[in-house]
Structure 1
Amino acid sequence: MSRKIKVAAAQVGAVDLGALKKDTVQRLIKLLHQAAEQKVQLVVYPECTLTTFFPRHFIQSQEELDKYFEHGEDITQSPDVKPLFDEAKAHDIDIVLGYAERTPDGMGYNTSVYFSGSTGKVLSKYRKVHLPGRVEPFEDPAATNQLEKRYFKPGNYGFQAFRAPGLVKDAVKKSTTTKADESTEGKGDPILGMLICNDRRWPEAWRVYTLQGAEILMFGYNTGGHMSHLWGGKSMAPEEAEKEALFHSRLVQQANSYMHACFSISAARCGLDDGKYHLIGGSSIVRSEGHVVAEAGTDGDELVAAEIDLAECRQGKERTFNYGKHRRVETYGLITGQTGVVEPELL
């Protein structure tokens, strides 16, 4: 049963520290219009899409810091961002948008939402769980910081998969099935899940989603091309460091797509912010067998689009990685019962 969808990653190039949100949103709308011309149904934007990646900066003024966050319960009504959601609805395109969220009680989260163009509503919200980096900046003034642990709390929504209507023709609905019907697995509206940046490196997140049948995982990222202080490893030449960062970004997306029998869409915020902070590109769409369908060729604004068929997920979900037949949960206790490493006793 073919279940084809036209999807895209909307890669966004450099966004400087002083860039206005409304100007950045116009760039996002331009990418959305390109998607509409190509009859794309789902567009994924990067992590913290609306501003520069401010966690690289040590910001002590609360007033200044709050400029980088979206405030209020409904991001679709934010004055600077509403035009993007209005355009998505007008073109009947679903979008995933990453942004910094400030809740009414003052908590900060690295957040993404899934907006349905056909319903005009946010169907799901996700808050980043695996926050990298540090609370305090490095002592070395030349270091590139990563202060997400300072500005954000770990996500508190978990990994909740959801279905999106209007993407797949003739999707099986609850109202049209009976208990006597054959299995409906892989026949309904697509099952989706969101991650953000560092989450993509943690297979536990993918596994929780695909235990709910997820067929597409979507995530944006801001990944530094040269952050030797954060890595704590040997110093590399910038070109070598960028190559390594791109390799690891591709590796985790392809490997996890294969091991979890799902498609994945990644969107990079990339380029050279403020002429000095380099972020990798590499936005891509990956099949459930781990093959790259389409990948960005630049470090600037670029739409990476492809048609995918969710029916391809069934091979992995029903055979190689058939969870019901092959998982042995009685042996996996350490995964949820222990956080850090505990080595066996020394000989």
Structure 2
Amino acid sequence: MSRQITVAAAQVGAVHRDADKKDTVQRLIRLLQKAAEKEVKLVVFPECTLTTFFPRHFIESQEELDKYFEHGEDVTQSPDVKPLFDEARSQGIDIVLGYAERDPDGKGWNTCVYFSASEGKVISKYRKVHLPGTKEPFADPAATNQLEKRYFTPGNLGFPAFRAPGLVPDAAKQSTVKEGDSTTGKGDPIFGMLICNDRRWPEAWRIYTLQGAELIVFGFNTGANMSHLWGSKPMPPDKAEAEALFHSKLVQQANSYMNACFSISSARCGLDDGKYDLIGGSAICSPEGHILAEAKTKEDELVVAKIDLSECRQGKEKTFDYARHRRIETYGLIDKQTGVVEPDLL
């Protein structure tokens, strides 16, 4: 059963600290329009797409900080962002959008949502679980900070897989299935969402694919030269960027293979404010770990591929058939321990 979808990562280049959010949204709309020309049905935008990546800055002004967040329960009705969702519905394209969310209780979240064009609404929300960096700035004034722990709360929604309607013709539905028929791999596509650093944690991927996820999507803002954050010795800028890009692709390809699922990664990249360099490397990856399409620039760029979700079945039913091969009785430490506890010294 062919379950083909044309999908895209909408990579977004430099967004400066003083950028007008409305102008940034127009850039996203232009990418969406290019996607429509290529008959794309799903577009994944980056983490914190709407603004510069503000967690690199120590911001003491509440007024300035508030402008980086979307406020209210429904981001599709946010005045600056509504035109993007309207365009997505008009073009019949589902989108995944990352943004900074301020909830009614005043908590900050690093969030993304899945907007279904056929439903005309958000059908799933995810809040970033694995927040990197520090709460206080580094002592070294030359360091690039990563203050997500200061501005965001660790995600509280877990890893809920969901089905996205309207993407695959003749998908099996509850109303059309006969009793006793197998529906595995025949229904509407099963998706999972992550954000940036989450992609480095295999537990997140595994939880999604234990729910049958066939496509994992995520946006990211990854610094090209952040030795203070890595805790490693400083590298020449070109080598540091190459290492960061290598690791970004490594975790996407390895986890796609180990979980027998497609994946789409979308980067915010380029040189923000002429100073803060972010890697590109947006990519679409197969369940066998192969990159099907990837960005060639560090600017606004649409990365497109046609995928067939039926290709997930080989890995899910043979190499990584969880029901036959997983040995959960041996995995106890996974959900009982956080830090490392070494064996006793000899």
TM norm structure 1 = 0.99
Secondary structure, aligned partner of 2:265: strand
Secondary structure, aligned partner of 2:111: strand
Structure 2 unaligned blocks of 5 or more: none
Asked whether 1:57 is paired with 2:57, we answer yes
**Aligned-residue offset at 1:178:** 2.6
- Aligned position for 2:340: 341
Task: Find the aligned partners of 1:332 and 1:251 in 2 and give their Cα distance.
Answer: 24
**Aligned-residue offset at 1:179:** 2.2
How big is each residue's C-alpha offset from its partner over 1:30-60, in whole Å with a ceiling of 9 and x where there is no partner?
0000000000000000000000000000001
Task: Find the aligned partners of 2:83 and 2:223 in 1 and give their Cα distance.
Answer: 29
Task: Find the aligned partners of 1:75 and 1:123 in 2 and give their Cα distance.
Answer: 12
Asked whether 1:193 is paired with 2:192, we answer yes
Structure 1 counterpart of 2:327, which letter? R
- Aligned position for 2:250: 251
Task: Find the aligned partners of 2:336 and 2:174 in 1 and give their Cα distance.
Answer: 37
How big is each residue's C-alpha offset from its partner over 1:75-101, in whole Å with a ceiling of 9 and x where there is no partner?
000000000000000011000000000
- Aligned position for 2:11: 11
Secondary structure, aligned partner of 1:178: coil
- Aligned position for 1:121: 121
- Aligned position for 2:98: 98
Structure 1 counterpart of 2:326, which letter? R
Aligned Cα RMSD in Å? 0.4
Task: Find the aligned partners of 1:149 and 1:180 in 2 and give their Cα distance.
Answer: 49
Task: Find the aligned partners of 1:120 and 1:159 in 2 and give their Cα distance.
Answer: 23
Secondary structure, aligned partner of 1:195: strand
Task: Find the aligned partners of 1:238 and 1:223 in 2 and give their Cα distance.
Answer: 14
Structure 1 segment 162-177 matched on structure 2, within 5 A: 162-177=162-177
- Aligned position for 1:214: 213
Task: Find the aligned partners of 1:338 and 1:58 in 2 and give their Cα distance.
Answer: 32
Task: Find the aligned partners of 1:288 and 1:328 in 2 and give their Cα distance.
Answer: 22
Structure 1 counterpart of 2:336, which letter? G
Task: Find the aligned partners of 2:291 and 2:71 in 1 and give their Cα distance.
Answer: 37
TM norm structure 2 = 1.00
Secondary structure, aligned partner of 2:188: coil
Task: Find the aligned partners of 2:328 and 2:178 in 1 and give their Cα distance.
Answer: 31
Structure 2 counterpart of 1:81, which letter? V
Structure 1 counterpart of 2:97, which letter? L
- Aligned position for 1:29: 29
Structure 2 counterpart of 1:27, which letter? R
Task: Find the aligned partners of 1:22 and 1:310 in 2 and give their Cα distance.
Answer: 35
Structure 1 counterpart of 2:54, which letter? F
- Aligned position for 2:39: 39
Secondary structure, aligned partner of 1:173: coil
How big is each residue's C-alpha offset from its partner over 1:10-38, in whole Å with a ceiling of 9 and x where there is no partner?
00000000001100000000000000000
**Aligned-residue offset at 1:216:** 0.3
Structure 1 unaligned blocks of 5 or more: none
Secondary structure, aligned partner of 1:171: coil
Structure 1 counterpart of 2:207, which letter? V
- Aligned position for 1:279: 278
- Aligned position for 2:146: 146
Asked whether 1:301 is paired with 2:300, we answer yes
Task: Find the aligned partners of 1:189 and 1:328 in 2 and give their Cα distance.
Answer: 29
How big is each residue's C-alpha offset from its partner over 1:272-294, in whole Å with a ceiling of 9 and x where there is no partner?
00001000000000000000000
Structure 2 counterpart of 1:343, which letter? E
Task: Find the aligned partners of 1:177 and 1:249 in 2 and give their Cα distance.
Answer: 40
- Aligned position for 1:204: 203
Asked whether 1:226 is paired with 2:212, we answer no
Task: Find the aligned partners of 2:332 and 2:196 in 1 and give their Cα distance.
Answer: 26
Secondary structure, aligned partner of 1:104: coil
Structure 1 segment 255-274 matched on structure 2, within 5 A: 255-274=254-273
